Structure 1
Amino acid sequence: MSSQQALPLGAPASAPQQRVTPHNLEAEQALLGAILFDNETLNRITQQLRPQHFYDPVHGRIFAACQEMIATGHIADGVTLKERFARDGGIKEIGGAVYLMKLMDLAAPLSAQAQSYAELIYDMALRRELIRVGNVIADLAENPPERHDAKDIIEEAERTLFTLAESGGANKGFQDFRTALTASINVATAAKNRGSDVSGISTGFRDLDHLMGGLHGSDLIILAGRPSMGKTAFALNLAMNVARIKQKALQENPEAEHLGGTVGFFSLEMSAEQLATRILSDFAGIESHRIRQGKIDKDEYVRLADSATELQMLPLHVDETGGISIGALTNRARRLKRTSGLDLIVVDYLQLVTGSGKTDGRVQEVSEVTQGLKALAKDLQVPVIALSQLSRQVESREDKRPQLSDLRESGSIEQDADIVMFVYREEYYLSRAEPEQGTEAHFTWEQKRAAVANRAELIIGKNRHGPIETVHLNFHGQFTRFSSIAR
């Protein structure tokens, strides 16, 4: 039972005080006065500022008028604004011509501080919007829409807050060609200074790096294959390589933090513990099934413990949420980027990511997911590797090497991807088609299998930035490990 005393009957509770939202009218007046005094001031302040960011609607109208007039080559001062507002009958709403002249007199000596005023006004507007969002979230929590649970509200809150945090940065608009050329030259210079042809993030696979120049920000890379080809193993090896390069670079040379990268791995099918076991198996050189079954001796256990100690600070983050929506995936990737940094995203796998539920049919849903992943790659400027299943029509062909048309819901996936890679292991199919022993066919089969034993092909089926080729790799099945072929 609560020990709190009830209010006496007839004694009304004191009414809550009206909250005054953050604002600074003096800064708004000073900025407007500076613009009216010197129109060039408008070009020197932050481009993020909009009329709706002003607390006083009158100030917002004056700022909008200044923007429009200056953009069309007209002078914006007390006289011209008086005529403009007199024509539309709004002169009284802004306080008349006297108020415009007062603004100019107030801020004439303060035009040098205009940028500071603009930043203050913008900050106040963000704080007011933050309060509004908080109230909306509280209202949604108290009165949730039909078929929306707490997780849906949290995802919507995260999405809204991120949009607010990034406001002004996402809509970059046009940039002159000089800026684009400078960025291109910087990429080429970075590659030249490294003394290699890898200008992006190294995958740890020599021939793949040589073909692609590493992994590049804003690219959506599809890694596809039939079951048991090793899609997850290859993606995990690549993620491990990227994170391991960064870990070693930070340990040996803190200034080389640009090498490797922090990885976000969305594992929709396997648990984080299963992924960690695979990584430990590879790093310690102990078969994963023996680790899971506890069939390791004392020396192997020590090796396993040492490996875990060495890898515990690996910049690899795993999200094992099954059936995650593209909206939640995007929010979590952005949050990781803000809190820990993020250089590579891996999604295992594409067909398990759900859409918003607003599309009709599976094809439209997959299209929504691939478009969302591509937008995420461009927004965060990181490469996104999404694993994808292939249709069963591969099994009906004599040559089972996959093609672009084998992608499930291939239209949207092929269209949105910058690079499409297929994992193919001929040994897998040969091992399941063994002829009768002692026959000539069995002898031929043994020769073919020996030629492809422990080998894999990484077939580049689409590459917007380079040639379409096949990269040959080693595959160590007992450790689910891919590696470059020794030269």
Structure 2
Amino acid sequence: MTDSPTTPAADGALLGVSLRQPPSNVDAEQALLGALLTNNKAYDRVSDFLTGAHFANRVNGAIYDAIAKRIEAGMLADPVTLRATLENSGILDAVGGLPYLARLLTATVGIINAGDYGRAIQDAWIRRQLIDIGETIVNSAFGSTDLDGQDQIAAGEEQLFRLATDKGQDGGFTGFDRALASAIETAEKAFRNEGDVSGLTSGLRDFDRKTGGLHPSDLLILAGRPAMGKTALATKIAFSAARALLNAARDKGEGVQPEGAVAIFSLEMSSEQLATRILSEQAEVSGERIRRGDIGQKEFDRFVRVSRELTQIPLVIDDTPAISLSAMRTRCRRLKRTKGLSLVVVDYLQLMRPAVGTRPDNRVLEISMITQGLKAIAKELEVPVIALSQLSRQVESREDKRPMLSDLRESGSIEQDADAVMFVYRDEYYLQQREPKETAYDSSDKYQAALEDWGRKMELVHNKAELILEKQRHGPTGTVQLYFEGQYTRFADLDTVHEEYER
């Protein structure tokens, strides 16, 4: 019979783990402190990632902090200058007083090796943090808590992510030569693409020309009122980017896998609904008719044929409702590690939850935490992130209903964190609601005149949409005219100027 987690055998195994000594490297701590006391220049090799809290021995950590404080103040740090500070604080009492400093000097290492010893100290600290996190997870799972199982998973992932990002191993200055090389590489890519796209294509020609495509580390906000087509436009961009990744892989040769995938976090629609929308657009079969089963054999065959073609597209959908920022971050990191990640689309950010364990005081602060987290995901994973957003109802109270930055819900944080803010707007939607009613006119002639005038206006805006680029950190703003086909909820380029036909 297998022992359950609460049997004596299981308890004994856990007890054996708890009796183990936490990882530490006191020899490395003493050697590094000796190097610092001998030559303060060794501090430059560890100062950007090591703190006194990383030391397993509390006294060693306090000595390190005292050394760091003097060095950063531009003063000499050696046994003589530190004597008064250490004696008055009583730090050395537990290790025998000032003679301990003399022993540190005998354990010194060369300045060249200081960085390696610092890494060893930090590595032991990371392992101790992992043990603490593991114990917290185990205790939460055994004990009573307000969090259910899924939230406990998210909380554990959040702790691990913080440890991975805050351990101090990343960051620091980038040499201008390396930054310049990256800039030249981006410019060369745009040049090879005939000057239009240096980032990932959105599938919209005029948008790509204005922005250069979708760039790594950028957070783009796509906002609009209900029924404007936010989800349809975001899906169009995501699908076009995924298809471009597939085509690029095929151009390199048979069997070559795409370099990355496009991830859609659909918090409002199910994955099946989103897939049906994409199929409807690509097969040119109305989604409404698909749901009703009102399609002929030829249309159904085309529907199946297109669906087979689309199975190769590197597009993944996560339809977890009210997903937390920490869970989203973990899933994106996992996807990047396993399949690669090129674009993230979030539909939409007001339905997200902040990281598990955080309790913002108000909705504005909560949205601010979410947008900052999405920007952090974009930077850490070096991918563009497109987040859909709602607009406040004050749009409806204006005569001109084109959105502005102030219309964003909790606009301050969203506008501040975003690299680009764009609004989708369809004048046809609002004009359609203003169709003249015969009962509002005292004669049929006036009604017919009003109806004809309304019809002329409808012709001007029929199947047209605007993508208003209100903010762009890296380029110009302006409006991109788009074609919108309501039958298939499909956006496309709007051809207003045709090149001269050549025989």
Q: TM-score band, normalised by the shorter chain?
A: 0.7 to 0.9
Q: Deviations over 1:237-274 (max 9, x none)?
A: 011111221122123228xx999953221211100111
Asked if 1:481 corresponds to 2:480, the answer is no
State the 1:463 CA deviation.
3.1
Match of 1:427 in 2: 428
Match of 1:308 in 2: 307
Asked if 1:459 corresponds to 2:458, the answer is no
Identity %: 48
Question: Which range moves more in the overlay, 59-68 or 324-333?
Answer: 324-333
State the 1:169 CA deviation.
4.8
Match of 2:232 in 1: 233
Counterpart Cα distance in 1 of 2:79 and 2:317? 60
State the 1:232 CA deviation.
0.5
Counterpart Cα distance in 2 of 1:15 and 1:142? 13
State the 1:353 CA deviation.
2.4
Q: Deviations over 1:32-57 (max 9, x none)?
A: 33434443333234732222222222
Counterpart Cα distance in 2 of 1:136 and 1:360? 26
CA contact (8 A) 2:232 2:490 kept: yes
CA distance 1:471–1:104, change in 2 (3 Å): same
Number of aligned residue pairs: give it.
478
CA contact (8 A) 1:218 1:378 kept: yes
State the 1:290 CA deviation.
3.7
Residue type matched to 1:428 in 2? Y
What are structure 1's unaligned runs of at least 5 residues?
8-12
Counterpart Cα distance in 2 of 1:156 and 1:412? 24
State the 1:223 CA deviation.
1.6
CA distance 1:68–1:471, change in 2 (3 Å): same
State the 1:473 CA deviation.
1.0
Q: Deviations over 1:341-376 (max 9, x none)?
A: 433322212332245783455445444444443444
CA distance 1:313–1:160, change in 2 (3 Å): farther
Match of 2:62 in 1: 61
Counterpart Cα distance in 2 of 1:198 and 1:2? 60
Counterpart Cα distance in 2 of 1:388 and 1:15? 47
Q: Deviations over 1:439-469 (max 9, x none)?
A: 3333333333233222211122333433331
Match of 1:468 in 2: 477
Residue type matched to 1:282 in 2? E
CA distance 1:428–1:44, change in 2 (3 Å): same
Question: Which range moves more in the overlay, 176-185 or 122-131?
Answer: 176-185
**Residue 163 of structure 1 aligns to a residue in which SS?**
helix
**Residue 43 of structure 2 aligns to a residue in which SS?**
helix
Match of 2:126 in 1: 126
What are the residue-to-residue correspondences of 1:369-380 with 2, within 5 Å? 369-380=370-381
Counterpart Cα distance in 2 of 1:365 and 1:261? 31
Residue type matched to 1:310 in 2? E
Counterpart Cα distance in 1 of 2:246 and 2:21? 49
State the 1:134 CA deviation.
0.6
CA distance 1:241–1:142, change in 2 (3 Å): same
- Name the TM-score, length of structure 2 as normaliser: 0.81
Match of 1:283 in 2: 282
Counterpart Cα distance in 1 of 2:88 and 2:368? 51
Match of 2:359 in 1: 358
What are the residue-to-residue correspondences of 1:145-184 with 2, within 5 Å? 145=145, 147-169=146-168, 172=171
CA contact (8 A) 2:54 2:121 kept: yes
CA distance 1:442–1:265, change in 2 (3 Å): same
Counterpart Cα distance in 1 of 2:359 and 2:42? 46
Counterpart Cα distance in 2 of 1:42 and 1:473? 58
CA distance 1:83–1:402, change in 2 (3 Å): closer
Q: Deviations over 1:318-341 (max 9, x none)?
A: 221222344444444444444444
Match of 1:10 in 2: none
State the 1:425 CA deviation.
1.9
Counterpart Cα distance in 2 of 1:264 and 1:253? 23
CA distance 1:2–1:172, change in 2 (3 Å): closer
Match of 1:448 in 2: 457
Residue type matched to 2:307 in 1? A
Asked if 1:207 corresponds to 2:206, the answer is yes
Match of 2:263 in 1: 264
Counterpart Cα distance in 1 of 2:310 and 2:283? 11
**Residue 471 of structure 2 aligns to a residue in which SS?**
strand
Residue type matched to 1:270 in 2? M
CA distance 1:361–1:23, change in 2 (3 Å): closer
**Residue 475 of structure 1 aligns to a residue in which SS?**
strand
CA contact (8 A) 1:346 1:384 kept: yes
Asked if 1:49 corresponds to 2:89, the answer is no
CA distance 1:264–1:95, change in 2 (3 Å): farther
**Residue 166 of structure 2 aligns to a residue in which SS?**
coil
CA contact (8 A) 1:78 1:104 kept: no
CA distance 1:33–1:359, change in 2 (3 Å): closer
Residue type matched to 2:213 in 1? G
Match of 1:138 in 2: 138
What are structure 2's unaligned runs of at least 5 residues?
439-443, 499-503
CA distance 1:301–1:75, change in 2 (3 Å): same
Counterpart Cα distance in 2 of 1:391 and 1:80? 62
RMSD: 3.8
CA contact (8 A) 1:245 1:261 kept: no
**Residue 166 of structure 1 aligns to a residue in which SS?**
helix
Counterpart Cα distance in 1 of 2:413 and 2:2? 59
